[in-house]
Structures are given as structure tokens and as C-alpha cells.
Copies of this chain bind each other. A is one copy, B any other.
Amino acid sequence: MMRRLAALLLFLPLLAAADPLPSWNDGPAKLAVTQFVTEVTDATSSTFVPPAERVAVFDNDGTLWVEQPMYTQLAFVLDRLKAMAPQNPQWREQQPFKAALEGDQAALSEAGMEGLMELLMTTHAGMTSEAFNQLASDWIEQAKHPRFDQHYTSLVYQPMLELLDYLRSNGFKTFIVSGGGIAFMRPWTEQVYGIPPEQVIGSEIELTYEVQDGKPVLVRQPEIAFIDDKAGKPVGIARHIGRRPILAFGNSDGDYQMLEWTTARASPRLGLILHHDDAEREYAYDRDSHVGRLARGLDDAAKQGWIVVSMKRDWTQVFPNQTHD
């Protein structure tokens, strides 16, 4: 017993020296992260931050997992509509359903935000929370990405999984702050990212509490309660966390205010933006993309002191099981 303990003690320095971010190339981004973590965890330094205040927030779509060619939640919406279509034959002649079922991008664009909202509410409301959880869980277990032919939960970014682990092993509490639906993410974030449901913040529809045949249920209503995007992200953070993060990581202009709010606090603070510049291993898009548009963030990053992480240069690997496609 004592021998094994002694052997273990001998290996501790080695374990400590192991690279916690093996999928990150040595470079300014990795250095900024490891220096920041060293600063806030050094109890003898003026930059020390008590563990309770080590709050790190992460966007989801395009920051933790793939968001091209369309938001994963939109793929879920389209699949749900197809599954519901036989019970709704009128959709064959009714917009925006017809466009969605036929994959008619032009007609879908014409239906605009109002049309999209109708599709969202049709597939996300009018059922109990329990029933929706089941639908989302079942879908995420079987659906596959059109290009990579893998489950969406396999198309999370390996370097980000390492970063989440690294932060948590240094006393950070990691949160998702996503424009996506909170109920769509929660069924799988704990297993995939190690982030429990209570640390997932997202957009919400109204819920009502009802007792149906003696059984209490929460019923999802076709009405937006909260949009956790852009200026909504600092609001979502205030509501759910109640303190200002010291680290924020995003990838689009939808994350601008979250980064701004986080890094406007006194030091130490760290803001990071993932730049999708890797068409070969993932996708390359920024200013002109309709999904995950990044323009203002790129323009202001230097001024704001935010680190732009290049997928192409800073990551040795993108997905956990990537084989070139």
C-alpha cells in the first residue's frame, strides 16, 4: 500500500506536466489560455480568482459543435416536420410547411422569420416538456450530419472538449450560453460536454404548469419567452448565473455582447473567438455567412483584446474521430 502510494507520488510531477490541451498547437491562442488559467489559480498572485467566481461561458453552435450547413436544431425541425407530415396532409399545399418539406430554400427565405417561427413552434410546442425531451433525445441519437455522416454529438470540437475539461480541473464552472433552444440542448450536454442541464442557458418558449388527469406536467406553449442571442446573452447570464463570467468563448456576432460584457470587467478576463477558416477539415466562413456571421467581432477583436482562434492554425485536430471526408 505504501509502496504504491510512493510510486504514485513519484509520478505526480509527470502527470502535472502532461499537456492538458494536446489538440491545440503551441501558439498565441493556447498560450493566452494557459497563462490566464495560471494567473487566476495562483493563490499568491493579485490576479487570483476564488473558485466560486471562475465562471466560463461558451456559445454552442459553431463554438462547441458544427453549425454548417445549417444549425443542427433546424435539421431537427425539418426532420420533425417530415415525421409529422402524414398526420398533416394540408401541409402539402400550405406555406411555410410546403417549402420546408420540399427543401425549397427560396420559398423558405420568402417566408422569413415569421415562417421560421411557425415551423419552430409547430415542432417545439404543444407537448409536455417530458415528451419534447424524448423527441430531442431520440433524434440526436440517430440523426447524422449530411457531409460528415456522423452523429451530431460526434461533431463537437475536440480542442474545446479539452478546454472545458482543463478549465473544470482548474476549478472553473463551465456554462453554455447559446442562442439555440435550452430544451434542445439539455438532454445531451452532460454526456457530451460534461455540462449539466442547470449550466445550460438558451432561448426559451413559455411553459405552463398543469395537472392533467392527476399528473402534473409542464406544457410547452407556442410563444417565445426569451431569446438568448446578442444583447440577450448578458441578460441570460445575469438571470441564470447572477455573476459576471471571467472567460467567454464565442464564434459569431451573436456572441459580441457576451464577450463585451465579460471582458469589460476588471482583470483578469479573457475573451476568445473561434474563426472558421478550415474548409478542408470543417468549414470556412465569416463575414458573408447566413449562419454564424462574424464581422464586427473580427473588426473589433484587436481593440477589445479578444483572441481570435484560427481553426486551421491553432487546432491539430477538429473532431474527436475525424477521418478526412
Contacts and interface: CB of A to CB of B under 8 A. Distances in A.
Interface of A: 52, 55, 129, 173, 182-183, 186, 190, 196-200, 204, 207-209, 211, 215-216, 218, 231-232, 234-235, 238-243, 257, 260-261, 264
A209 B182 contact: no
A260 B52 contact: no
Contacts of A198: 55, 173, 198-199, 240-243
A234 B218 contact: yes
A52 B190 contact: yes
Nearest to A183: B242
Given A234-B218, A264-B215, A200 B239 contact: no
A235 B216 contact: no
A231 B208 contact: yes
A251 to B, nearest CB: 19
Contacts of A208: 231, 235
A200 B264 contact: no
B209 A231 contact: yes
Given A198-B240, A209-B235, A216 B52 contact: no
A209 B52 contact: no
A198 B172 CA distance: 13
Given A55-B198, A216-B257, 15 more contacts: A52-B196, A129-B238, A173-B198, A182-B239, A186-B242, A197-B242, A197-B243, A198-B199, A198-B241, A198-B243, A204-B239, A207-B239, A216-B234, A216-B264, A218-B234
